[in-house]
Amino acid sequence: MAEETSTATDTTAELQDRMIDALQSVIDPELGIDLVNLGLIYGMSLTDGVATVTMTLTTVAVPSHKCLKT
């Protein structure tokens, strides 16, 4: 039983790493720095194949906010 839990945890950790890698490729167009290194990502989850990212924007009036789904 312990092996199954470890495998599930490893899979979750691998998926989180892949999510972080993907978010590191999203560059803020005004600052030229990725969202992860800007510290804008506060949480991530993956449920039934749907990734959810909790984040903030660099400013309240950032023009690209309309490009993000809620």
**Cα 69 to the center of its chain, rounded Å:** 13
Query: Which comes out higher in pLDDT, residue 57 or 10?
Result: 57
Strand partners, 41: 55
- Residues 27, 40: contact at Cβ < 8 Å? no
Q: From residue 28, give the alpha-carbon distance in Å to each of 1, 9, 22.
A: 44, 31, 14
| Per-residue tokens: 45 | 């989850």
Extents of the domains making up the chain: 2-57
Tell me, what's the pLDDT at 8?
55
What confidence tier does 49 reach under pLDDT thresholds 50, 70, 90? confident
Q: Which of 19-23, 28-32, 35-39, 57-61 has the lowest mean pLDDT?
A: 57-61
Q: Which residue has the higher pLDDT, 57 or 67?
A: 57
> pTM to 2 decimals?
0.68
